Amino acid sequence: MDKEQLKENFASALKQENLKRTPQRFAILEELVSSDEHRECTDIYFALRNQGISVSRATVYRTMDILVKYDFARRLDIGDGIARYESKVGISHHDHLICLECGKIIEFLNRDIESLQQSICNDFDFDMIRHTHQIFGVCPDCKSK
Amino acid sequence: MDKEQLKENFASALKQENLKRTPQRFAILEELVSSDEHRECTDIYFALRNQGISVSRATVYRTMDILVKYDFARRLDIGDGIARYESKVGISHHDHLICLECGKIIEFLNRDIESLQQSICNDFDFDMIRHTHQIFGVCPDCKSK
DNA sequence: TATATTTATGAGACTCAATCTCACAATAAA
DNA sequence: TTTATTGTGAGATTGAGTCTCATAAATATA
Ligand SMILES: [Mn+2]
Ligand SMILES: [Mn+2]
Ligand SMILES: [Zn+2]
Ligand SMILES: [Zn+2]
């Protein structure tokens, strides 16, 4: 998806929520989408400030909620009390291997697990909305140290 | 496992950590293990207080860390910023379906997923230490309302 | 364009789970 | 016991996240 199209889509989401188009909101979208990392709000806050963009922490937190609601971003909770966000624009679903030594996050996708997961939900008559599958351990780099 | 044996095992863990046997520590173990729920520290704190047992929040938090380290308990993070703990004594591994409407937690185990998970780790040369597989959605009770 | 109306922004106050502090209490080795 | 060591607990502190509200900016209207 090209950058202009993305902005249009975000503008549509804002319109649907009766929210105004502001430079801060677009800057936050741009910062997250142009990155392939799992970003913390504080990290995005400082990244924009360092680019000379006026923004507050509150605006970053508020905008992240919109990005998640409209599927531009996914929130990642790895149990350390800090929310991380990754772009969903042009990115397909995946789950995560998380290194407990260095914090590295490796992505994986397994279609068999995904479908087994769905059949578990069917068995329990449970409607799945989302899921997280996180494997914690030691990555190859950290093992060889 | 009988209650006396459990106390013995916990006492061994305490000895291994050079920690003393205190009434508070045993009370916290007992409170968690005799429950089949996913308990918050604050909840355990009040449960003990209501039983007339003198304990502080700090002691509950500190003791939970020991219980987790020695495999008497598992910590559960469902992304709401509150840690929950469940007994592992006599309980086999399982993962969770979590209802976003009512907060109910349903347990599941799928051996195929467990083994696929292990093969993913092999492929990435990643040493798994633990994993969490959480499926969020709407439970049967909440659907029929 | 000018003006009115509505909504957003941001600095800092606030919340709340969790952790830390430290004076005092309890434990256990000898 | 005695004594050294560790634990306890009330309250202070931390830190991610949320809230407040005066001001600024965006958009609707004339
Ligand atoms: Mn998945
Ligand atoms: Mn599992
Ligand atoms: Zn690593
Ligand atoms: Zn429910």
Contact residues, chain B, for A97 at CB < 8 Å: 120-121, 124, 126
pLDDT at A1: 72
Sorted by sequence, the CB contacts under 8 Å of residue B131 that are 6+ apart come out as: A133, A134, A135, A136, B117
Chain A residue with the nearest C-alpha to that of B75 = A79
Going along chain A from its start, the domains and CATH numbers come out as 3-87 (1.10.10.10), 95-143 (3.30.1490.190)
Tell me the three state secondary structure of residue B89: coil
Strand A83-87 with A73-77, pairing: antiparallel
Give chain B's mean pLDDT: 96
Q: What is the pLDDT of residue A85?
A: 98
- Indicate yes or no: CB of B129 within 8 angstroms of CB of A138: yes
The whole-number pLDDT of residue A24 equals 98
Q: Is the dihedral of CA A43, A82, A80, A68 positive or negative?
A: negative
Residue B49 pLDDT greater than 80, yes or no: yes
Name the DSSP class of A49.
H
| Interface contacts A/B by beta carbons within 8 Å | 107
CB atoms A135 and B126 under 8 Å: yes
pLDDT, mean of residues B26-47: 97
The arithmetic mean of pLDDT across residues B37-58, rounded, is: 96
Instruction: For residue B141, name the pLDDT band (cuts at 50, 70, 90).
Output: very high
Nucleotide nearest to B62 (CA to C1'): C19
- Region B99-121: what's the mean pLDDT? 97
Beta bridge pairs of residue A137: A99, B128
Q: What is the pLDDT of residue B27?
A: 97
CA of A84 to nearest chain B CA: how many angstroms apart?
11
Predicted pLDDT of residue A5: 94
Q: Hey, are the CB atoms on B120 and A130 less than 8 Å from each other?
A: no
Residue B91 Cα distances to B19, B37, B53, B86, angstroms: 26, 12, 27, 9
Q: What is the DSSP letter of B52?
A: T
Rounded to whole angstroms, the distance from the CA of residue A22 to the C1' of nucleotide C3 is 21
Tell me if B129 sits within 8 A of A100, measured CB to CB: yes
- Chain C nucleotides reached by a protein CB under 7 Å: 7-12, 17-21, 26-28
pLDDT band at B145 (very low <50, low <70, confident <90, very high): confident
pLDDT under 50 in chain A at which residues? none
